[in-house]
Amino acid sequence: MNPTDDPYRRVSVHGVFLNDRETLVQAVTDLGGGFWVMTPMRTDRGFVVLVNRGFIPPERRDRASRPTPRGPQSVTGLLRMAEPGGGFLRRNDPAADRWFSRDVDAIARAKGLADAAPYFIDAEAGAPDAWPRGGLTVIRFANSHLIYALTWFGMAALTLVGFGVFVRERRRRRA
């Protein structure tokens, strides 16, 4: 895995969901506040990958209020890198099973998943009226605009300094 090149790569996995180790991660989406449903999948290749099956509103928090995938399944979605630490001003609390970020390593430790992949998959959208609702990935690329601005303003300042030195030297030679 390369954190620079692989985020948002479209991937497919096949396997069986480990529904008893599901994790709900607090989320805010275009559909409002609720939870991401992160369910580990034991793939047919033998490793475990966390799958973000999608968003659910708070009233669907109880597992009985939504379908539970059974037997072999296929998931297609976007590869995502872990989001360690927690949310803004909130830390994940594994002991209380309260999650504010999709921290793959911490979730895997808390759920006893020794062979989990270091990434997760955001599932594609399914039926428009189905819960969990997949396909809500917000694609964000690194925003280096401040660095670019500082670089260009720095180069402009150096150009002005160079021009000032040039003018000063020219005046000194004339005098």
pLDDT tens digits, 11-30 = 999 999 999 999 999 888 88
pLDDT of residue 141: 60
152 occurs within a structural domain: yes
For residue range 35-71, list pLDDT tens digits in order: 999 999 999 998 999 999 989 999 988 888 888 889 9
DSSP state string for 85-140: SEETTEE-BGGGTBBSS--HHHHHHHHT-TTEEEEEEEEPP--TT-SSB---PPP-
151 lies in the same domain as 129: no
51 lies in the same domain as 109: yes
For residue range 138-156, list pLDDT tens digits in order: 666 666 778 888 889 899 9
Average pLDDT over residues 111-140: 82
**pTM of the full structure:** 0.73
2 occurs within a structural domain: no
55 lies in the same domain as 31: yes
Instruction: Count the residues in the chain.
Output: 175
52 occurs within a structural domain: yes
Which of 29-33, 118-122, 163-167 bottoms out in mean pLDDT, i.e. has the lowest? 29-33
- What is the domain count for the chain? 2
- Separation of alpha carbons 143 and 63, rounded Å: 37
- Separation of alpha carbons 108 and 140, rounded Å: 25
Range of the domain at 171: 143-175
75 lies in the same domain as 23: yes
